[in-house]
Structure 1
Amino acid sequence: MKRLIKKVAVIGSGIMGSGIACHFANIGVEVLLLDIVPRELTEAEQKKGLTLESKAVRNRMVNDHLAFALKSKPSPIYHPSFAQRITTGNTTDDLAKIKDADWIIEVVVERLDIKKQVFEQIEKYRKPGTLITSNTSGIPIHFMSEGRSEDFQKHFCGTHFFNPARYLKLFEIIPGPETTSEVLDFLNEYGEKYLGKTSVIAKDTPAFIGNRIGIFGIMSMFHNVKEMGFTVEEIDKLTGPVIGRPKSATFRTVDVVGLDTLVHVANGLHQGVPKDEAHDLFALPNFITMMMDKKWLGSKSGQGFYKKEGKDILALDLNTLEYRAQKKASFATLELTKGIDKPINRFKILVTGTDKAGEFYRKDFSGMFAYVANRIPEITDDLYKIDDAMKAGFGWENGPFEIWDAVGVEKGIELMQAEGKEPAAWVTEMLASGNKTFYSVKEGATYYYDIASKSQKKIPGQDAFIILNNIRESKKVWSNSGVVIEDIGDGILNLEFQSKMNTIGGDVLQGINKAIDLAEKEFGGLVIGNQAPNFSVGANIGMIFMMAVEQEYEELNMAIKMFQDTMMRVRYSGIPVVVAPHGMALGGGCEMSMHADKVVAAAETYIGLVEFGVGVIPGGGGSKEMALRASDLFRKNDVELNVLQEYFLTVAMAKVSTSAYEAYDLGILQHGKDIVVVNKDRQLAEAKQHALLMANAGYTQPVKRKDVKVLGKQALGMFLVGTDQMQAGSYISEHDKKIANKLAYVMAGGDLSEATMVTEQYLLDLEREAFLSLCTERKTLERIQHMLTKGKPLRN
């Protein structure tokens, strides 16, 4: 049976309910969001003469919750206009409307009695066959559907979204006793394909998979931190990006999530898993209990493990429970990994450290290895599901079993035994059977050790993805220090950046030209995409800085021209070029996208021309391209200056989209040409299909543009007056004004006496000249140096 989801009803509009509603709106689904009717009027409502029967009062709770969510940062919605897909109401007046829903999601308070009352009411109006799921994070699923009809029970299960629903990819599906396989299969595919999630089917055990492992990790850290004599800053240094975890690491993450939320789950586990070997770790240490008593819950209460005081952020001393200035954390063990870019390659070194950090990693990893091994088959039968859950729900770059593989399975057992722990029997059996790793790669696919068959099995669902880690060596066509070019099949090449932060320097530009050469000779098309955390943070400004400081202006001019020529080659090649940006796609990464035949962007793409932040204008064709795109929008009898001004401000204000959908508003992505995919894992496969489609349709190399309309002195005068006023009002500095005026000169097409049709090359020459002249300015060099050393813009 084919099942379509056209309308979703979400019952409960709190942080999670509103977040889930927004994410369904993100993917184009109509949403009905309901909550309860308030029992009393607010003072403001009384002053307005409203009563408890007034619609504004009856829908106050749901509307306030949704408004709060939509104002929050980061936003739960891809584009403000998508909120129109959500209709609000209340569970007293509007519950009957759920009869039109294809999927009903319960997101009310975590109390079984209340949930059962809600389900009883839902069953009065729900049409047979409609999906009905609960977003519970811990209440056993089998309790919830007791007493409900057979049809209800067959179509009921848990669907646990992680907060925030837009950003965290984990989607746990927990079957009830009667849930049909058709429902589970549908939700598994829908979560991955439409919601952009990593779908994981979990067993109905306390806290399911993600929170069971994640809370164990945090609680064991809480118990170890004082015993081992660490500060909160030291733990956050050790458990952040250095091991492929989010910047917020451990204690900052708890502050953001809320200590009360963590404690709620930990208490539930302490009561719910009495036979767990780590049962005692789920008991709260004294300092957590005292923080709860003081209501030091984190960001929501203004203080937690960290506290902002004026401009300073103070850290909590766990021994005295007093706040103090932060102390810089540094460890010799971490210094050993500085030259290693990928976290997965650091673990083997981290566990050999002879200082406190090495001791911490040995204790922490061995505890995690032992715990996850013992959770099979309790929480899942398949080890890869634990790794998937931790990567998707907690933002880990590598899951526990992947880390164990990186350390070495036998070495991991040594670490465990040194801490008085023994591996689960199945791990010993795995080694005895000749399988030395949990994962292996064969013929471009990832296999995992299946305990039941005692053999390596292919992880299901990979056929929809292209996984570069699996094909990089076997399908490599060419490489240098900055790129790898892979054959991704069907006559399509992929070019993957390999430079630090995927910056674009000479080696990357050489690689792009080589990829186009190869594709034009032997292949049908090219995809430029990678699977690093970010697509590209732009040009290698370190190289630009060195050339400018050494006053090697001829070399710098040639480097800028090579960048421009390469971007133009992306546009004017004999084969289709599809660019697949995701994460940060800034500066040169944005310019490359703007010159592609098509962009297949991940929904979570933060793209923009940010060169103003380092004291220059876009010099890789970005300034030219914004003038060209404005020109293409000029219409007879329209005020052309207004269109050009919008594009000028996008660059001058260094605007960056907060999603790929916002990039359409900035003129960076183009309607009718570029597309957005919600699941980043599918992005390269999707990009390949579009390249193939264009190639098979008979791609013809475009003709270079000679019809770009520039407005000359008319536009230039407007811009110069505007920048004068901005500086006079102290909105911008003198150097900001100089940069803006250089951009104005380029986008106006120079000081031509009248509107004129010019070539792209004419604008590129103006752009390069302006970029080069700004590189001779001391204040620009100060800005570049500040970005290189501090990682943030300087206003001077």
Structure 2
Amino acid sequence: MKRTIKKVAVIGSGIMGSGIACHFANIGVEVLLLDIVPKELTEAETKKGLTLESKAVRNRIVNDHLANALKSKPSPIYHQKFASRIATGNTTDDLAKIADADWIIEVVVERLDIKKSVFEQIEKYRKPGTLITSNTSGIPIHFMSEGRSEDFQQHFCGTHFFNPARYLKLFEIIPGPKTSREVLDFLNNYGEQYLGKTSVVAKDTPAFIGNRIGIFGIQSLFHLVKQMDLTIEEVDKLTGPVIGRPKSATFRTVDVVGLDTLVHVANGLYEGVPNDEAHELFKLPDFIGKMLENKWLGSKTGQGFYKKVDKDILSLDLNTLEYRPNKKASFATLELTKTIDKPIDRFKVLVGGKDKAGEFYRKSFGAMFAYVSNRVPEITDDLYKIDDAMKAGFGWENGPFEIWDAVGVEKGIELLQAEGLTAAPWVNDMLASGNKTFYTVKDGASHYYDIASKSQQKVPGQDAFIILNNIRENKKIWNNAGASITHLGDGILNLEFQSKMNVISGDVLMGINKAIDLAEKEYEGLVIGNQGANFSVGANIGMIFMMAVEQEYDELNMAIKAFQNTVMRCRYSSIPVVVAPHGMTLGGGCEISLHADKVVAAAESYIGLVEFGVGVIPGGGGSKEMTLRAADQFHKNDVELNVLQEYFLAVAMAKVSTSAYEAFDTGILQPGKDIVVVNRDRQIAEAKKQALLLAEAGYTQPIQRKDIKVLGKQALGMFYVGTDQMTAGHFISDHDKKIANKLAYVMAGGDLSEPTFVSEQYLLDLEREAFLSLCTERKTLERIQFMLTKGKPLRN
């Protein structure tokens, strides 16, 4: 049976319900969002003369919740216009409307009695065959569907989205006793393909997979911090980016999530897993009880483990429970990892540390290794699902079994035994069977150790993905320090940035040119894409700064020209070039995207020309391209100045899209040409497919443009008046004005006396001259230096 999802009904509009509704709207699905009717009027409603029968009052709860969600930052929705896909109502008047929904998702309060009552009402209107799921984070699924019809139970299961639903990729699917295989398979595929999630089918055990392991990890640290007399700053230093975890690490994360939320799940686990060997670990330490009493719940109450006072961040002393100034944490062991770029390569060094940090890692990893081994097969039969859950739900770069592999399986056993812990028997069976690691890579695919067969089995679902880490070793054609070229198959090459933060250096530019050379001679097309945290944070401003300080202007001119020539080669090569941006795609990374034959952007792409922040204009073809795109939008009788001004402001205001969909508004992505994929894991495969389609359609090398209409003095006058007014009103500084006027000169095509048609090269030369002249300015050098040292823009 073919199942399609055209309409989803979400029952419950709180933070989670509204977030789920927004994410379905993100992918183009019609959504009905319902909540209860208020029991009494607000003071404002009474003043307006409204009654409890007024529609505005009856839908007040759902409308307020949705409005708050849409105003929140980060936004739950890719583009504000997508909110029109969500209709609201209440469960008293509008529940009958769920009859035409293809999927009903319950997201009400975490109480079994209330959930069962909601399901009883839903069954009165739900049509047979409709999917019905609960977004519970811990209530056993088998209790919820008791007493419901056979058809209801066959189409019912848990679907646990993690909050925020747009950003966290974990999508746990928990079958009930009678859930059909067809339903599980459909949801697993739908989560991956349409919702952009990492779908994980879990067993119906307390807290499922993600929260069971995640809460264990946090509780373990809560006890370890007291045992080792560590400060919260030290723990956050040890458990953040150095080990591939979010910057918020442990205690800042708890502050953001809310201590009460964590305690709710931890208490549920303490009651729900009495036979867990780590049962006592789920008991809350004394300092947590005190914080709850004091309502120190984190961001929602203004203080938790951290407290902001004016501009200062204070930290909680766990011994005195008093706030004190933040203390910088440093450890000799962490210094040893500074030259190791990838977190996965740091773990061997970290557990070998001779200081307190080394001891901390040995204890915490030992405890985690023992715990996860003993959860298989209790919470899942397959160890890779635990790693998937922790990466997708908690933002870990590597899951526990991947870390264990990095440390060494036998070394990991030593660590846990040193803590008096025991690994599950299957781990020793694995070693005895000749399997020395939990994972292997064969034929470009990841394999995991399967306990039942005592052999390495292929991780399912990879056929839709291209994982560069898996193919790079065998399919690599060329590489240097900053880039590598891999054959993706079917005659399509991939150029991957491998510099720090994927900065576009000379090595990267050399790699792009080499990839185009190879593709033009022997292959069909090229993808420029990588699977790092971000596509690229831009050009190497450190190199620009050094050249400018040394006044090596000829060399700087050549470097800018090399960048311009490279992006123009992307545009005018004899093979199709597809660029696959994701995450931060800033400055030079954006300019490369602007010159692709097609962009296949991840939905979570934050794209923009941000050069104003470091005191220059886009010099790698960005200013030229925005001028060209504005000119292509000029229509007969159109107010051409207004169109040009829109593109000018996108650059001058350093606008960065908060999703790929917003990049269409700024003119960086183009409707009808560029596409967006929601699941980033599928991005390289989709980019390869698009490059192949262009090649198979008979790709013809484009001819460089010489027909770009520029408006000259007419536009220049308008821009100069605008920057004068902005400066006079103190909205911009004198240096901002100077940069804006340089950009205006380029985008007007110079001070031509009348509108004229010019070539791309003409605009590139103007752009490069403006960029160079700004690099001679002291205030620009101050901005670049501030960005290099502080990581944020300077207004001077």
In 2, the alpha carbon distance for the partners of 1:657 and 1:410 equals 47
Could you tell me which residue of structure 2 aligns to residue 580 of structure 1? 580
Give 1:725 deviation, angstroms: 1.0
**Superposed CA offset, 1:448-505 (max 9, x none):** 0000000000001101000000011100011111111000000100000000000001
Could you tell me which residue of structure 1 aligns to residue 15 of structure 2? 15
Give 1:311 deviation, angstroms: 1.1
Could you tell me which residue of structure 2 aligns to residue 765 of structure 1? 765
Give 1:64 deviation, angstroms: 0.3
**Superposed CA offset, 1:646-699 (max 9, x none):** 111111110000000000000000000000000000000000000000000000
Give the structure-2-normalised TM-score: 1.00
1:607 is matched by which residue type in structure 2? I
SS at match of 1:556: helix
Could you tell me which residue of structure 2 aligns to residue 319 of structure 1? 319
In 2, the alpha carbon distance for the partners of 1:155 and 1:478 equals 51
Matched, 1:680 2:680: yes
Could you tell me which residue of structure 1 aligns to residue 483 of structure 2? 483
In 1, the alpha carbon distance for the partners of 2:754 and 2:700 equals 34
In 2, the alpha carbon distance for the partners of 1:475 and 1:776 equals 44
In 2, the alpha carbon distance for the partners of 1:507 and 1:388 equals 33
Could you tell me which residue of structure 1 aligns to residue 218 of structure 2? 218
SS at match of 1:474: helix
Could you tell me which residue of structure 2 aligns to residue 371 of structure 1? 371
In 1, the alpha carbon distance for the partners of 2:708 and 2:229 equals 66
In 2, the alpha carbon distance for the partners of 1:646 and 1:412 equals 58
Could you tell me which residue of structure 2 aligns to residue 255 of structure 1? 255
Matched, 1:787 2:787: yes
In 1, the alpha carbon distance for the partners of 2:320 and 2:649 equals 51
Matched, 1:660 2:660: yes
2:704 is matched by which residue type in structure 1? K
SS at match of 2:474: coil
Give 1:432 deviation, angstroms: 0.7
Could you tell me which residue of structure 1 aligns to residue 418 of structure 2? 418
Could you tell me which residue of structure 2 aligns to residue 209 of structure 1? 209
In 1, the alpha carbon distance for the partners of 2:357 and 2:786 equals 31
Give 1:763 deviation, angstroms: 0.2
Could you tell me which residue of structure 1 aligns to residue 645 of structure 2? 645
Could you tell me which residue of structure 1 aligns to residue 567 of structure 2? 567
Could you tell me which residue of structure 1 aligns to residue 429 of structure 2? 429
Could you tell me which residue of structure 2 aligns to residue 238 of structure 1? 238
Could you tell me which residue of structure 2 aligns to residue 472 of structure 1? 472
Could you tell me which residue of structure 2 aligns to residue 42 of structure 1? 42
2:507 is matched by which residue type in structure 1? D
Could you tell me which residue of structure 1 aligns to residue 132 of structure 2? 132
In 2, the alpha carbon distance for the partners of 1:402 and 1:191 equals 24
SS at match of 1:488: strand
Could you tell me which residue of structure 1 aligns to residue 310 of structure 2? 310
1:19 is matched by which residue type in structure 2? G
Could you tell me which residue of structure 1 aligns to residue 724 of structure 2? 724
Matched, 1:198 2:195: no
Could you tell me which residue of structure 1 aligns to residue 80 of structure 2? 80
Give 1:755 deviation, angstroms: 0.5
Give 1:574 deviation, angstroms: 0.2
**Superposed CA offset, 1:335-358 (max 9, x none):** 000001100000010000111111
1:116 is matched by which residue type in structure 2? K
Give 1:721 deviation, angstroms: 1.0
Alignment of 1:394-543 (within 5 A): 394-543=394-543
**Superposed CA offset, 1:254-299 (max 9, x none):** 1111100000000000000001011111111010011011111111
In 1, the alpha carbon distance for the partners of 2:310 and 2:754 equals 53
1:466 is matched by which residue type in structure 2? I
Stretch deviating more after TM superposition (66-75 or 318-327): 318-327
Could you tell me which residue of structure 2 aligns to residue 91 of structure 1? 91
In 1, the alpha carbon distance for the partners of 2:574 and 2:324 equals 62
Could you tell me which residue of structure 2 aligns to residue 4 of structure 1? 4
SS at match of 2:87: strand
Could you tell me which residue of structure 2 aligns to residue 754 of structure 1? 754
In 2, the alpha carbon distance for the partners of 1:221 and 1:708 equals 61
In 1, the alpha carbon distance for the partners of 2:125 and 2:644 equals 54
Give 1:401 deviation, angstroms: 0.2
2:737 is matched by which residue type in structure 1? K
In 2, the alpha carbon distance for the partners of 1:514 and 1:578 equals 16
Could you tell me which residue of structure 2 aligns to residue 118 of structure 1? 118
In 2, the alpha carbon distance for the partners of 1:636 and 1:345 equals 59
The runs of at least 4 aligned residues of structure 1 exceeding 4 Å deviation read none
Give 1:207 deviation, angstroms: 0.1
**Superposed CA offset, 1:183-204 (max 9, x none):** 0000000000000000000000
Could you tell me which residue of structure 2 aligns to residue 293 of structure 1? 293
SS at match of 1:248: coil
**Superposed CA offset, 1:280-339 (max 9, x none):** 111110100110111111111111111111111111111111111101111100000000
SS at match of 1:284: coil
Could you tell me which residue of structure 2 aligns to residue 603 of structure 1? 603
In 2, the alpha carbon distance for the partners of 1:230 and 1:767 equals 54
In 1, the alpha carbon distance for the partners of 2:484 and 2:23 equals 35
In 2, the alpha carbon distance for the partners of 1:204 and 1:694 equals 47
**Superposed CA offset, 1:730-763 (max 9, x none):** 1111111111111010001000001100000000
Note the residue ranges of structure 1 that are not aligned, 5 or more in a row. Answer: none
In 1, the alpha carbon distance for the partners of 2:785 and 2:234 equals 28
Could you tell me which residue of structure 2 aligns to residue 284 of structure 1? 284
**Superposed CA offset, 1:594-642 (max 9, x none):** 0000000000000000000111000000000010000000111111111
1:570 is matched by which residue type in structure 2? C
Could you tell me which residue of structure 2 aligns to residue 545 of structure 1? 545
SS at match of 2:792: coil
2:722 is matched by which residue type in structure 1? G
Could you tell me which residue of structure 2 aligns to residue 27 of structure 1? 27
In 2, the alpha carbon distance for the partners of 1:722 and 1:438 equals 62
SS at match of 1:31: strand
**Superposed CA offset, 1:756-793 (max 9, x none):** 00000000000000000111111111111111111111
Give 1:420 deviation, angstroms: 1.1
Alignment of 1:326-345 (within 5 A): 326-345=326-345
In 1, the alpha carbon distance for the partners of 2:219 and 2:422 equals 21
Give 1:226 deviation, angstroms: 1.6
**Superposed CA offset, 1:523-577 (max 9, x none):** 0000000000000000011111111111110000000000000000000000000
SS at match of 2:447: strand
Could you tell me which residue of structure 2 aligns to residue 617 of structure 1? 617
Matched, 1:362 2:362: yes
In 1, the alpha carbon distance for the partners of 2:771 and 2:792 equals 20
Give 1:424 deviation, angstroms: 1.0
In 2, the alpha carbon distance for the partners of 1:729 and 1:314 equals 37
In 2, the alpha carbon distance for the partners of 1:209 and 1:193 equals 21
In 2, the alpha carbon distance for the partners of 1:507 and 1:515 equals 12
SS at match of 1:9: strand
In 2, the alpha carbon distance for the partners of 1:321 and 1:563 equals 55
Matched, 1:381 2:415: no
1:357 is matched by which residue type in structure 2? A
In 2, the alpha carbon distance for the partners of 1:766 and 1:300 equals 51
1:435 is matched by which residue type in structure 2? N
